[in-house]
Structure 1
Amino acid sequence: MVAAPSTGQGKTTIATGLLAALRAAGHEVSGHKVGPDYIDPGYHALASGRPGRNLDPHLVGEERIVPLLLHGALGADLAVIEGVMGLHDGRLGTDGFASTAHVAALTRSPVVLVLDIARQSRSVAAVAAGMAAYDPNIDIAGVVLNRAGSDRNVEEIRRALSMPVLGVLPSDEDLATPSRHLGLVPAAERHDSVALVGRLGEQVAKYLDLDGLLAVARLAPELDGVPWDPASEIRRVPGRPVIAVAGGRAFTFRYPETEELLAAAGCEVVAFDPLVDRALPAGTQGIYLGGGFPEVYAAELATNRSLIDDLGVAVAAGIPTVAECAGLLYLTETLDGVEMAGVVPVSAEMSDRLTLRYPTATALTDSLLTRAGEQVTGHEFHKTSVASDGDAWEIDGVPTGFSTDTWHASYLHVHWAGHPVLAQRFADAANNASPHISMVVDVPPVEPLRHHGDAEAGAGLLDFAVNVYVGERPVWLDRALHAAIDDTAYPDAAPARAAVARHLGRPVGEVLPTAGAAEAFTLIARQPWRHPVVVHPQFTEPHAALEQAGHVVDTVLCRSDLTLDPSEIPDGADLIVIGNPTNPTGVLHPASLIRSLQRPGRLVVVDEAFMDAVPGEVESLVRERLDGVIVIRSLTKHWSIPGVRAGYLAGDPQVVDQLARLQTPWSAAGPAVAALVACSTARAADEATDRALAIGRWRDHLIAGLTERGIEHVPSSAPFVLARLGGARLSLRDAGIAVRRADTFPGLDSTWARIAVRPEPMTDRLLTAIDQTPQPTS
């Protein structure tokens, strides 16, 4: 437990930095926060790589604190709990109920006390001694001195203290987290959040005694209890209703257990960003609008009339809707004079008065969530007010909030783990609702497997959708192409076959020139496969070719980090198709992993269309002689010749011979033959390396820009980067920039987009447009 004598001592800095430092040291850590705070857990999540979670006896009951801690810490080596306010400060009038000390006692956690010593000396020791003596049930195992100045003052404090000093963190204003009218700025709203957390981790690792802190953690005894299980708290509904959950920068406040309860009820939870998405998710049957800062983004929210109108239609049609605090403001008629959704017939505006309370609310009527007379614990934290009171709750004798049979909107934040009946009623109502049919839909292609980046680009659009290298073609390649066009003879692929074989160091019988990678995929698809498998997400053309040939294709999806778990491949698969580096993810699979897929009677096909963009072509198998392996290459992208279908396959000679017998005569046209010959020389190899290095520089520039803006993306080894742009893809298109939609790749949804790597000036234009377009963040 990271605690302090009062707020403002640096608990969040120490707790977040500690999580980051321990994770960097190889530990699996989970972050927890005492109280109803949403912002600190956001920083904990960035630092730990796991959801940040809250432990609040008022919101969930004392009996759920240990189960929720065990649930959040499943699989972790240790849990770091950040306290709230001062160590013994709890709900007023309750003798410290829901305080940091209360949660420390419930979880039997040793306490590390953070002390801001910027303007103190020996008095710090008196404060620490008083905190330690106040409640003998609380074990204060040591202190961390924060915002330290001179060494002499630190030493003076050390001599006065009667407990271990576990670290001394110097004052560093660069690590301060900026405030807003309700506290810290959420991690999702800071472009530099990832970098900030990284620096916190470095500072903590440098100045704190990590071994000593780990020793303190080991003092915590084993806890009696079992992890909280949402499935035991809720009944599954018969259908699979889609619950649209507001996210993005304007709606950052919600507890992860809310979504876990809904998922346990059988709901499909789908995030959407009211700042950028033009419509609710397809088939929406329930809407959850959590907390955040819509008053900060009111103007931007209002400009997205498409989404507001779609939301209004859905709520009016009876789609069950829950709105807490920011969600209430979004549903009002106006917010600070800016037009909102108009569902709740009141106006809202900023106030000089901060409302902060920790109430028990009594339901005044039957509604979507409650039944009259029921009591619910919650908290309010807002600096806005609405023009009139409602009739959803009674709090402190005053009616507040708004509700009907199909929607519920109020300032009260409720932790549904403490009141799972609310989740049950919401899930039941959503299951019974007819799916919302939006009039504003980003309609996916009719044949998604045949969708290509060319469909995204267009006249007047800056093209980040097509992965063709944007530099000029080499003069020697242009000359070879023109000479082939001028040649009046039928094309002869033999010189290309010999040139590619020589370039790869393989016998001619192990190489076959093709009309691009497309012909290679088609030739392979024409074999009598019993159990073909395509690893997704990846380029969809081989999947489409197999289906066109009449095969039933088995799809194997990569893990959440988009790498392949070989154990997922069915033993009976006789054909496996995998991309390397994969389009559209940019993931470069280890060659050893692909070799491990070899089996007698099985063909492994590796699409290496973008391997020439990888310096040194590490992990390539194109030069290895492996039984049952075929590698497919394309010249189209790297050599800027999209109009010339030039490619080849190489590998197992028996398979190559079978495919050659199926090939249509003269399928590789004269310019393709010429390109294959020209691009198989030592001069071409040198220029290919130069192009790969340039792509790497451009990609680094793009990734740095995405990282700075907090945009989730996949580490890439290819001339493209997969990024989570959400509805911003369409907004960028409106701004004249085309990126490639990714929801046509199995395993990816509409929040992802593929961005082609371009030279730095072009990339800067994209990043500027992103800055001017509201962005969802990870």
Structure 2
Amino acid sequence: MVIPRFVIAAPASGHGKTTVATGLMAALRGRGVEVAPFKVGPDYIDPGYHTLAAGRPGRNLDPFLCSEELMAPLLLHGSRGADVAVVEGVMGLFDGRLGSDGFASTAHVARLIDAPIVLVVDARHTSRSVGALVLGMATFDPDLRIGGVVLNQIGSPRHEAEARASVERVGVSVLGSLPRNLEIEAPARHLGLVPAAERDDAGIVAMGEVVASHVDLDALLALAGTAPALAAEPWRPPLSPPAGAGAARRPKVAIAGGRAFTFRYPETDELLIAAGCEPVVFDPLSDTALPPGTAGLWLGGGFPEVHARELAANTALLSAIRDAVADGMPTVAECAGLLYLCRELDGEPMVGALEGTAAMTARLTMGYREATAETDSLLGRVGETITGHEFHRTAADPGDPPAWLLAGRPDGVATSSIHASYLHTHWAGHPQLAERFTDAVHRRWAGAAATDPASEPDLAHHGDKDLAPDLVDFAVNVRQPRTPGWLVEAVTRDANWAAYPNPALARAAIAAHHGVDEDMVLPVAGAAEAFTLIARALEGVAVVVHPQFTEPEAALVAAGRVPLRHILSATEGFLLDPGAVPAADLVVVGNPTNPTGVLHRRRDLLALRAGTLVVDEAFLDAVPGQPESLISGDMSNRIVLRSLTKTWALAGIRAGYVVGDPRTIALLSAQQPPWSVSTPALAATVACLSPGRRDEAHRLAVAGEAARADLAGRLRDIGLAPVDGVAPFVLVDTAGFGPGSLREALAARGYAVRRGESFPGLGPTWLRLAARTPDHHAGLVAALVDLQETLCRKN
């Protein structure tokens, strides 16, 4: 696989690698380049700055923690959908684990990912000697290629000219130079830079602006493009949900976040998701309880010593965690998490789940470790050795038995339900740790008395199940009562039903309609078939953004997968915040979304962190002008689903199509059974997408817009607050009528409505109402008013 890439390195620490790397990421992003950010080594703090600069998770490449074999796969995994990968090195270019001949050094990782190097050189105390330094760095290891130099801390034009000439004399290009005293360096404290979570992004923006004005970005991108293809496949979490886990078995793992707990690798969340768990971040500084439904607890690294007084003041959460741990909740705590679980930290009371105390010391403990388990525990097995690293200035005596032996020295404490240690581990390198933890979480969830599978939405429910012969239909979103005559004629008279279906004409019609190449389209038997093909063809962790049409999740569950649900907030109008949606191999979202009708912005959809983004635009043809569509000539790593059944009343024929990345279209096509799209459906596709039907489709969309506005206005007039959407249906919460659903009461008055509880994320008081005629709207609203009056009389 090919991903343009380069590594930012330096002769030693302190030359400005982080400033230059972060600035480059921000500068490239500012030019519209999608940057995949990486850091060599175990460091958590620099990737936090990378995340702010690049707008996607900063990741680590560490062969000691994860093995040499995983470097290229992890790089490719983190680069999905990116235009370029920027890798910041660690320490000096050749500095690795002591006594190992440079193992885990920047040079080692650069060789493993076959990337050119950009050398950052602090020239404050030198000028012409920079050339000799660069020559030595360039020739020390013949397997490396230094493709350019960025001069840092330049004092004057003459200083720059002297240093630049010396570098170019040894055959290396100077790609830029940064003047002294730019005041863009990040502040530091006792364990290095202040974490990005404790700062705003103003400094990141400044770094990007400075780098953009002093570094040749085009030359850098050209250098990145010289990196060869990698003979590797992207890493995928090697876990799956336990046998028997399904859509109703999605236990939450509460993950400490906020300013006090800033350290964890993105792959941790991805492994949890792959194993059928739902990671939910909570802030120990402000949240007073664990998230509802929590079945596991993960407390990572950070700076609790800086925030000890605030943590101690949150007594409600301390008590809740103490009770949960005492009750056997599976709990993993690394470094900061260990301190938090102790009885006290620097004299401030903490959770008290562990016996001992912890305090700051003058000694820095830092380095790679090989850790051996002395006993079986939540994570470890007797005699098993794993790799990790330590990085702290505190000391703790949490109790026995130890979680690990580090060169014979006991570290932390571990039991069958808790594993607390100073050691940071990268679970991508040791997935058995994630598997043991998630298995314990699933066991606890399965046995929890509060678990009620019956409360899970019926993913197979559809609006037609709410119909009855004598009811006015507000439940099904088909726009017209009958298929248009010209379409019936095209399907029955013009189509040759005696021949096997041939999708060629339909494929050409779809491509012409959207102005894309034919290898970017695939006719399907409605969206249901498309989602089935997607669930079979596209592997990895899946996230479905809810409230959402239930068929995407139903298809994934039928394929033996448990997607993560991301629930949009009703109080925020069901608007999409792309930064809040977990990164995943596959992200599915509707636009406009069924059942909310909310239209998401194109830029927010494109900001979702997805290996493949699937957007269900089944109702976008019912919106005048079809704004915010993702269909275009370039659809790398994304696909769009369209349906013809709603606008043209074709539910019985099942006609739709997919438009997207040709590589993904080929994968879906390979899963599609022969002749799955019938001759009538193919004929209908050609007829509906003919140029002569554009005006009719637009008139129907305008009429649908007016119908929605009429229905929403009438609902507002009686005190309800329908969701602000654009689709030809309305979602409304009727909680003011009482705690239950009005569906049966409205059916008794002659109206069929779609029940809200059939959508994940909604409860029984929500109703989805298809837009109909003003007379029908008036009748439905009159029935609602009658219900209100009846309830008032009863109360």
TM range, normalised to the smaller chain? 0.5 to 0.7
Aligned residues: 542
- Which residue, 359, 362, 368 being the options, matches 2:372? 362
Q: Distance between the aligned counterparts of 1:348 and 1:310, measured in 2?
A: 21
Q: CA deviation at 1:149?
A: 1.9
Task: Report if aligned partners of 2:389, 2:425 keep a CA contact under 8 Å in 1.
Answer: yes
* C-alpha distance 354-533 of structure 1, shift in aligned 2 (>3 A): farther
* C-alpha distance 329-595 of structure 1, shift in aligned 2 (>3 A): closer
Query: Is 1:655 aligned to residue 770 of structure 2?
Result: no
One-letter amino acid matched to 2:336: A
Query: Is 1:407 aligned to residue 352 of structure 2?
Result: no
Q: Distance between the aligned counterparts of 2:370 and 2:144, measured in 1?
A: 28
- Which residue, 596, 599, 605 being the options, matches 2:647? 599
- Which residue, 404, 418, 437 being the options, matches 2:429? 418
Q: Secondary structure at the match of 1:68?
A: helix
1:550-569 counterparts in 2 under 5 A?
561=578
Larger mean CA deviation between 286-295 and 392-401 belongs to 392-401
- Which residue, 709, 716, 719 being the options, matches 1:632? 709
Query: Is 1:39 aligned to residue 48 of structure 2?
Result: no
1:354-753 counterparts in 2 under 5 A?
354-387=364-397, 390=400, 391-434=402-445, 527-532=472-477, 561=578, 578=597, 592-593=625-626, 599-600=647-648, 626-629=702-705, 630-632=707-709, 655-660=773-778
One-letter amino acid matched to 1:528: D
Residue 251 of structure 1 corresponds to: 261
Q: Distance between the aligned counterparts of 1:234 and 1:663, measured in 2?
A: 46
Q: Distance between the aligned counterparts of 1:403 and 1:430, measured in 2?
A: 16
What RMSD, in angstroms, separates the aligned Cα atoms of the two structures? 4.4
CA deviation profile, 1:499-533 (whole Å, cap 9, x unmatched): xxxxxxxxxxxxxxxxxxxxxxxxxxx94134249
Task: Report if aligned partners of 1:118, 1:147 keep a CA contact under 8 Å in 2.
Answer: yes
- Which residue, 208, 230, 248 being the options, matches 1:223? 230
* C-alpha distance 624-216 of structure 1, shift in aligned 2 (>3 A): same
Task: Report if aligned partners of 2:332, 2:418 keep a CA contact under 8 Å in 1.
Answer: yes
- Which residue, 303, 316, 326 being the options, matches 1:293? 303
One-letter amino acid matched to 2:79: A
One-letter amino acid matched to 1:365: T
Q: CA deviation at 1:392?
A: 2.0
One-letter amino acid matched to 1:212: A
Q: CA deviation at 1:26?
A: 2.0
- Which residue, 314, 318, 325 being the options, matches 1:315? 325
Residue 196 of structure 1 corresponds to: 203
Residue 141 of structure 1 corresponds to: 147
Residue 607 of structure 1 corresponds to: none
Q: Distance between the aligned counterparts of 1:595 and 1:217, measured in 2?
A: 32
Q: Secondary structure at the match of 1:88?
A: coil
Q: Distance between the aligned counterparts of 2:780 and 2:230, measured in 1?
A: 67
Q: CA deviation at 1:560?
A: 5.6
Residue 19 of structure 1 corresponds to: 25
Query: Is 1:164 aligned to residue 173 of structure 2?
Result: yes
Q: CA deviation at 1:593?
A: 2.6
Residue 132 of structure 1 corresponds to: 138
Q: Distance between the aligned counterparts of 1:52 and 1:17, measured in 2?
A: 14
Residue 28 of structure 1 corresponds to: 34
CA deviation profile, 1:589-632 (whole Å, cap 9, x unmatched): 98523799982469xxxxxxxxxxxxxxxxxxxx9992233253
Q: CA deviation at 1:658?
A: 4.5
Q: Secondary structure at the match of 1:627?
A: helix
Q: Secondary structure at the match of 2:271?
A: helix
Q: CA deviation at 1:662?
A: 6.4
Q: CA deviation at 1:568?
A: 6.0
Task: Report if aligned partners of 1:237, 1:265 keep a CA contact under 8 Å in 2.
Answer: no
Q: Distance between the aligned counterparts of 1:209 and 1:321, measured in 2?
A: 48
Q: Distance between the aligned counterparts of 2:326 and 2:725, measured in 1?
A: 57
Residue 325 of structure 1 corresponds to: 335
Query: Is 1:279 aligned to residue 289 of structure 2?
Result: yes
Q: Distance between the aligned counterparts of 2:60 and 2:599, measured in 1?
A: 41
- Which residue, 327, 341, 359 being the options, matches 2:351? 341
One-letter amino acid matched to 1:627: A
Q: Secondary structure at the match of 2:301?
A: coil
Q: Distance between the aligned counterparts of 1:431 and 1:422, measured in 2?
A: 14
Task: Report if aligned partners of 2:342, 2:398 keep a CA contact under 8 Å in 1.
Answer: no
Q: Secondary structure at the match of 2:208?
A: helix
Task: Report if aligned partners of 1:288, 1:322 keep a CA contact under 8 Å in 2.
Answer: yes
* C-alpha distance 654-432 of structure 1, shift in aligned 2 (>3 A): closer
Q: Distance between the aligned counterparts of 1:104 and 1:642, measured in 2?
A: 66
Residue 58 of structure 2 corresponds to: 52
Q: Distance between the aligned counterparts of 1:169 and 1:2, measured in 2?
A: 15
Residue 773 of structure 1 corresponds to: none
Q: Distance between the aligned counterparts of 1:275 and 1:527, measured in 2?
A: 52
One-letter amino acid matched to 1:284: T
Aligned-pair identity in percent equals 50
Task: Report if aligned partners of 2:624, 2:701 keep a CA contact under 8 Å in 1.
Answer: no
Residue 205 of structure 1 corresponds to: 212
Task: Report if aligned partners of 1:283, 1:435 keep a CA contact under 8 Å in 2.
Answer: no
Q: CA deviation at 1:20?
A: 1.6
One-letter amino acid matched to 1:578: G
* C-alpha distance 220-417 of structure 1, shift in aligned 2 (>3 A): same
Give structure 1 stretches of 5+ with no counterpart.
440-445, 447-525, 540-554, 603-622, 668-778
Task: Report if aligned partners of 2:45, 2:193 keep a CA contact under 8 Å in 1.
Answer: yes
One-letter amino acid matched to 1:177: A
TM-score by length of 1: 0.62
One-letter amino acid matched to 1:15: A
Larger mean CA deviation between 624-633 and 419-428 belongs to 624-633
Q: Distance between the aligned counterparts of 1:400 and 1:98, measured in 2?
A: 24
Q: Secondary structure at the match of 1:323?
A: strand
* C-alpha distance 353-212 of structure 1, shift in aligned 2 (>3 A): same
Q: Distance between the aligned counterparts of 2:237 and 2:772, measured in 1?
A: 55
Task: Report if aligned partners of 1:302, 1:338 keep a CA contact under 8 Å in 2.
Answer: yes
* C-alpha distance 438-96 of structure 1, shift in aligned 2 (>3 A): farther
Q: CA deviation at 1:346?
A: 0.7
- Which residue, 91, 101, 111 being the options, matches 2:97? 91
Q: Secondary structure at the match of 1:592?
A: coil
One-letter amino acid matched to 1:628: G
Q: Distance between the aligned counterparts of 1:297 and 1:3, measured in 2?
A: 33
Q: CA deviation at 1:241?
A: 2.4
CA deviation profile, 1:438-481 (whole Å, cap 9, x unmatched): 99xxxxxx9xxxxxxxxxxxxxxxxxxxxxxxxxxxxxxxxxxx
- Which residue, 105, 115, 126 being the options, matches 1:120? 126
Task: Report if aligned partners of 2:545, 2:588 keep a CA contact under 8 Å in 1.
Answer: no
One-letter amino acid matched to 1:531: V
One-letter amino acid matched to 1:322: V
Q: Secondary structure at the match of 2:362?
A: strand
Task: Report if aligned partners of 1:237, 1:431 keep a CA contact under 8 Å in 2.
Answer: no
1:750-765 counterparts in 2 under 5 A?
none
Q: Distance between the aligned counterparts of 2:772 and 2:427, measured in 1?
A: 62
* C-alpha distance 657-649 of structure 1, shift in aligned 2 (>3 A): farther
Task: Report if aligned partners of 2:238, 2:431 keep a CA contact under 8 Å in 1.
Answer: no
Residue 273 of structure 2 corresponds to: 263
One-letter amino acid matched to 1:185: V
Q: Distance between the aligned counterparts of 1:287 and 1:329, measured in 2?
A: 15
Task: Report if aligned partners of 1:189, 1:249 keep a CA contact under 8 Å in 2.
Answer: yes
Give structure 2 stretches of 5+ with no counterpart.
1-6, 456-470, 480-543, 549-566, 569-573, 582-586, 605-619, 630-642, 651-698, 729-770, 786-795
